[in-house]
Every structure is written in structure tokens, then in C-alpha cells.
């Protein structure tokens, strides 16, 4: 229409139907929300049914559901990202290609709970290639595992083995961390450090007040222990055959 190829936009009077999102009822507080998250029991059940022997599925879910890492940050990471300090987000995989982190705030080190470290150490002994430049979660040819493939073939299937009423995805896992960390001592500054969002407009908290790494680490450690302590090994789950 702007370029005068047509005289009138044929979509002008099209009415977009109102979309009503799935509402999840919080049984304890009676709150209704269109943005689902998992209870601690649901998250633990998800981890229990996720394989962790000879496969990286559980550690992927741990990184997303206990540490709030984005899927691109998980599948784009090489072993050099796993350090004594934690998980250093230096790059991500975006639309199938290696890219810079989502934002300047995203380029940071996320502390890893001891349970997640044990899972990563185990996977390092089982994976094909643990060289520092090798992708932690790679296909047979060394490329990063596809986020969409893992979501559709693995994560959502594991979710069906729990009592979760909506398809489980990485956003729900990240929201789960954000929802529960306050119970374990996490304040607004710790939450901002965990999620690594851009600074808020509040000058005092965004510029002057800083998150203390040890406190952020302590919050995630308590949260992870509450969810995942004493998980049993799970070496096999029959995934659905791709049609």
C-alpha cells in the first residue's frame, strides 16, 4: 500500500480473534495465572523421569530448571564455559548458528549448585569429546544439539510423564526458577543476577546496588537441594518414534 502497488489494504477490516491463554490455579493461594510454572514436586518428578546415564538429558533440564539458563546458552556452550566459578555465558546458539549472548547483561557467570556440577562432571566422562572447544551437548558430528529438536522430542515428552497440564518448555523452567528462588533467600538483586536481565530503570538498584556472587550461589544451592537431592539414576526412557 505504501509503495502504491495496491490501492487499499485488504486486511484492514480483518478481526483477530481474542486468544485466551491457559490458566494455572495455584492450589495454595488460589491465584490464577496465564503464565504456568512448575511446583517443586513437579520439577523433581520431571528430573526423576529424565535419563542421566549415558545421556545428557537430565543435566540439560537441571541447567534450565535449577539455574534458569536459556536453551541457546546451554546448547551453544563449549566445555570452556564450565569453570570453577560456574557456567560462563560467552556465546549462544541462535537459529542454528553460534552468536553472541542475548544482551550485555547475559554475558555473565551463573553459579552452579553442587548437584548440577556432579551431573556435568558425570557427563564429561561419558560424552564423545570433552576438549575445551567441543560443545558440551553435541550431535554425532560435533554440532550443537538443536534446541527445537530437544524441546519437541525430549523435554515435552518427559513433561507428559508428570502431572503437568501444559507442554513443558524452556520458558516454563526458567519461570519456575524465578518464581521459587525468593523462598530460599533470593531478593530482587539475586533474581536479576540469576536471570541476567537488563538493568531496571531504578537507578539505585540497577547501578549502585550490586549482587554478591556468593549470595546468588547460596540461593541456587538451597533451591537445587530442595528440589533434586537424592535423585535416583534413570538410564532409559523410551522416547516416541519420530513420525
Q: What is the DSSP string of 195-238?
A: HTPPP-S-HIIIII----HHHHHHHHHHHHHHHHTTPPP-----
Mean pLDDT of 178-197: 90
Look at the chain and count its residues. Answer: 243
Mean pLDDT of 52-76: 97
Residue 225 confidence (pLDDT): 97
Mean pLDDT of 30-41: 76
- Residue 103: exposure state from Cβ atoms within 10 A (0-12, 13-18, ≥19): exposed
Quick one: pLDDT band at residue 62, thresholds 50, 70, 90? very high
Where is average pLDDT lowest: 7-21, 43-57, 99-113, 214-228? 7-21
Q: What is the pLDDT of residues 64-75, one digit of tens each?
A: 999 999 999 999
* Beta carbons of 110 and 89 less than 8 angstroms apart: yes
Percentage of the chain with pLDDT > 70? 86
Mean pLDDT of 1-18: 79
State the DSSP code for 150: H
Where is average pLDDT lowest: 4-8, 11-15, 28-32, 236-240? 28-32
* Beta carbons of 67 and 110 less than 8 angstroms apart: yes
Mean pLDDT of the chain: 87
Count of Cβ atoms closer than 10 Å to residue 232 Cβ: 7
Quick one: pLDDT band at residue 210, thresholds 50, 70, 90? low
Percentage of the chain with pLDDT > 90? 63
> Is the pLDDT at 207 greater than 60, yes or no?
no
**What's this model's pTM, rounded to 2 decimal places?**
0.83
Residue 204 confidence (pLDDT): 44
Mean pLDDT of 76-98: 93
Amino acid at each position: 500500500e505504501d509503495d502504491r502497488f495496491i490501492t487499499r489494504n485488504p486486511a484492514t477490516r480483518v478481526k483477530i480473534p481474542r486468544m485466551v491463554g491457559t490458566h494455572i490455579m495455584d492450589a495454595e493461594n488460589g491465584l490464577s495465572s496465564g503464565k504456568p510454572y512448575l511446583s517443586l514436586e513437579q520439577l523433581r518428578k520431571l528430573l526423576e523421569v529424565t535419563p542421566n546415564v549415558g545421556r545428557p538429558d537430565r543435566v540439560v533440564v537441571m541447567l534450565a530448571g535449577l539455574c534458569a539458563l536459556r536453551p541457546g546458552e546451554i546448547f551453544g556452550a563449549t566445555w570452556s564455559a564450565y569453570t570453577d566459578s560456574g557456567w560462563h555465558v560467552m556465546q549462544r546458539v541462535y537459529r542454528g548458528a553460534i552468536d553472541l549472548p542475548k544482551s550485555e547483561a547475559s554475558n555473565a557467570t551463573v553459579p552452579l549448585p553442587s548437584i548440577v556440577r556432579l551431573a556435568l562432571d558425570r557427563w564429561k566422562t561419558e560424552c564423545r569429546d570433552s576438549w575445551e572447544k567441543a560443545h558440551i551437548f553435541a550431535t554425532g558430528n560435533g554440532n550443537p544439539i538443536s534446541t527445537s529438536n530437544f524441546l519437541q522430542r525430549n523435554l515435552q515428552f518427559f513433561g507428559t510423564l508428570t502431572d503437568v497440564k501444559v507442554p513443558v518448555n524452556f520458558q516454563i523452567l526458567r519461570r519456575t526458577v524465578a518464581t521459587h528462588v525468593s523462598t530460599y533467600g533470593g531478593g530482587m538483586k539475586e533474581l536479576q543476577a540469576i536471570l541476567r536481565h537488563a538493568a531496571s530503570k531504578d537507578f539505585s538498584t540497577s547501578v549502585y546496588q550490586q549482587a554478591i556472587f556468593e549470595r546468588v550461589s547460596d540461593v541456587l544451592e538451597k533451591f537445587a537441594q530442595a528440589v533434586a537431592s537424592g535423585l535416583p539414576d534413570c538410564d532409559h526412557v523410551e522416547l516416541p518414534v519420530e513420525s
